[in-house]
Amino acid sequence: MITLALNYDVLPDRLVTIKLPEGVPAGRHDLVIVLDEKESGKNPVKSHAEELMQFAGTVTAFKGIDGVAYQREIRSEWN
């Protein structure tokens, strides 16, 4: 197993190209990429949950429906 530790600036297109060392034989390999979110100081996924929650309960047609029960009923059709 070869371990490579690289520090890389991810550009807005999020395309990463890696040239492996000469000692790596051609063929199929398993590659593992670990992104340390603590390093960048930013969370890459922006959540809009708080903005969306302002609409919770505003659709009057759904006020009498239990959302979880409805999902279970729909999913029971999959079996």
More confident residue, 74 or 38: 74
Per-state percent for the chain, helix, strand, coil, to nearest 5: 30, 0, 70
Average pLDDT over residues 36-54: 72
Among 22-31, 34-43, 44-53, 57-66, the range of highest mean pLDDT: 22-31
- Mean pLDDT of the 23-34 span: 89
Q: Given this model, what pLDDT does residue 78 score?
A: 87
Q: How confident is the model at residue 50 (pLDDT cuts 50, 70, 90)?
A: confident
Question: Using alpha carbons only, what angle is made at residue 31 by residues 25 and 32, rounded to the nearest 5 degrees?
Answer: 150
DSSP 44: S
Please report, for the chain, the start and end positions of each structural domain, with discontinuous segments joined by +: 42-76
